[in-house]
Amino acid sequence: MAFVQYWTVLDVILEFAARLTSLRRFFPTEEDEIGAAKALLLLQRIYKLDPKALSQGILPGTKYRSPMSVSDCFRLGQTAHNISDFHHSMLWMKQALRQLNSGEQSPISKVQVLDCLSNVSFQLGDLYRAVDFTHQLLSLDSSHAQARLNLPYFVKLLEEEKAGKLGNGASETKQESVSKDQLKVYESLCRGEGVKLIPQKRKRLFCRYHHGNKTPQLLIAPFKEEDEWDTPHIVRYYDVLSDEEIKRIKEIAKPRLRRSRIFDSASDFVESDEIRVSQSVFLEEEEDPVIGQVNRRIQIITGLSDKTAELLQVTDYGIGGFFGPHLDYFLGPEINSLDIDDIGDRVATFMSYMSNVEAGGATVFPKLGAMFSPKKGTALFWYNLLRSGKGNPLTIHAACPVLVGCKWVSNRWFHERGQEFLRPCGPTEVD
C-alpha cells in the first residue's frame, strides 16, 4: 500500500515538473526583472516618489495591495547600483534595512544590506556613512573579510579628507552639464513644474469650431478645436475618435504589438533603445474598415494630402512606459540613410489619445515649457517643419512615464510631398 502511495506522489511530482517546464517560457526572465526595476527607478526619480510609500504600494491616486518585501527593495537597490544610480541605490538599501529592523522576515540579512550601504556610501563620497555602516556590519559579523579590509581604508580616506588633502572630484564637461539641464527641464515638466503657460499667453489661445478647408463634412459637422500653444501653433481637436473605434483599433493592434524602435543614423538600423519604452504596431487600411475611416477623418481635419502619409501607428505605454525628448522630423544624416526623397520629411504630426491616464503620461515640449495631459478621444496636431521647409527645433517633445494606468495613442505623420499647394512654402522662418 505504501509502495503504491509512493508512486502516486512521484507521478504527481513528475507531472508538475513537466508542466512547469512547458510553461517556463512564459515566466519573467532576468531581463524582464531588470527592465521592471529600471522602470520603477525612473518613475521614482521623475515623480520624486518616497521609497517608503512606494514600497507599500502607495502611488498618487491609488494604492496597490501587494507591498514590496525586503528582497524586492534589496534587488531594486542592486539594480540601481549596477547602473551607477548610487543615490537611489542608497534609498532602497536603507528601506530594506528599515523593514528588517521592523522585524520583517527575509532571506536577505542585515549584513548583506549593510555591506551594500557601505559600498554605496563610498561611491557617493560620503565617507562618514561608509565608516558608520562598516562598523555596524562588523558588530554583526566580526569575521567579514571585505569589511575588515574596507574599514581602515575608509578611516584613512576620512582623515585625509578632514585634513583637506582630498578634492571633491567634481568635474564634468560642458556637454554633460547641458545634457543634465535638458533632462531636468523634461522631468520637471512631467511633474507639472516649470510650465510656461502664463496668463498673457493664455489670453492668446482660443477655442473655435474647425471648418477646415470648407469641405462638406466639416461644414455640416465641424470639430471642436482648442489652441494649446501659439508659437509653434499646437491645437487639440475633440471627439476625434469614438469609444467604439478605439475599442476596435485596440483589438486589431494588441496581438501584433512589439517593442517600439527608433532609427539610429549611426548604424542605419531601426532598433530598440532605452529612450523609448513602449509597444507599437503600424496598421494598414485593408485590415479593417475602421482604419480607413479614421485615416479619412484625420485627412479631412488637417486638410493635408495623405498620399505620402505614413500608416497609422498605434502605441501602448504601460506603467513606466515613456518616450524621451525627440523630434518627429529627420535630421540630415537620417534623411540620407532613409532615402525619403520621394515623399519628403515629416511635415506634420497628428497624435490621438486613445485612453485617459490616471497619473503621469503627459506630452511635454521641453523648449516651450508646455505640458499637455492625455484626454481620451482628443488629438494634438502641430507642424514639424517651418514654412521655409527647415525643421523647427522647438517641436522637440516627449512622452512622460506612465505612473498609474495605461496610455494608448495613435500617430499619423504627413510628409512634404503632396502638400505644396495645401501648405505653400514661405520666404521666412515663421510658421
Lowest mean pLDDT among 282-296, 325-339, 378-392: 325-339
Task: Give tens-digit pLDDT for 113-166.
Answer: 999 999 999 999 999 999 999 999 999 999 999 999 999 999 999 888 888 754
CB 154 within 8 A of CB 131: yes
Q: Residue 240 maps to which CATH number?
A: 2.60.120.620
Q: Which of 374, 369, 375 is nearest to 188 (CA)?
A: 369
Task: Give tens-digit pLDDT for 60-73.
Answer: 877 777 889 999 99
Task: Give tens-digit pLDDT for 363-381.
Answer: 999 999 999 999 999 999 9
Task: Give tens-digit pLDDT for 211-264.
Answer: 876 778 888 889 999 999 999 999 999 999 999 999 999 999 999 999 987 655
Do 259 and 374 belong to one domain? yes
* Number of independent structural domains in the chain: 2
Do 131 and 191 belong to one domain? no
Q: Looking at the domain assignment, is residue 378 inside a domain?
A: yes
Q: Residue 118 maps to which CATH number?
A: 1.25.40.10
CB 125 within 8 A of CB 116: no
Q: Looking at the domain assignment, is residue 66 inside a domain?
A: yes
286 pLDDT band, cuts 50/70/90, is very high
pTM: 0.85
Domain end point (choices 101, 130, 162): 162
What single letter denotes the amino acid at residue 420? E
Distance CA 34, CA 164 (A): 40
What mean pLDDT is reported for the chain?
A: 87
Q: Looking at the domain assignment, is residue 110 inside a domain?
A: yes
Q: Looking at the domain assignment, is residue 7 inside a domain?
A: no
170 pLDDT band, cuts 50/70/90, is very low
CB 350 within 8 A of CB 381: yes
Do 158 and 220 belong to one domain? no
Kindly list the distances between the CA atom of residue 280 and the CA atoms of 67, 242, 302, 347, 411, in Å, as whole numbers in the listed order.
31, 20, 23, 22, 10
pLDDT at 216: 83
Do 381 and 339 belong to one domain? yes
Terminal CA-to-CA distance of the chain, rounded, Å?
A: 88
Give the range of the structural domain holding residue 99, as residue numbers without chain letter: 28-162
Distance CA 361, CA 372 (A): 9
Q: Is residue 212 helix, strand or coil?
A: coil
Q: Looking at the domain assignment, is residue 142 inside a domain?
A: yes
Q: Which of 403, 420, 415 is nearest to 361 (CA)?
A: 403
What DSSP string runs through 80-126?
Answer: HHHTT-HHHHHHHHHHHHHHHHTT---SS-HHHHHHHHHHHHHHTT-
Q: Is residue 146 helix, strand or coil?
A: helix
Distance CA 203, CA 55 (A): 44
Task: Give tens-digit pLDDT for 290-318.
Answer: 999 999 999 999 999 999 999 999 999 99
Q: Looking at the domain assignment, is residue 141 inside a domain?
A: yes
pLDDT at 23: 74
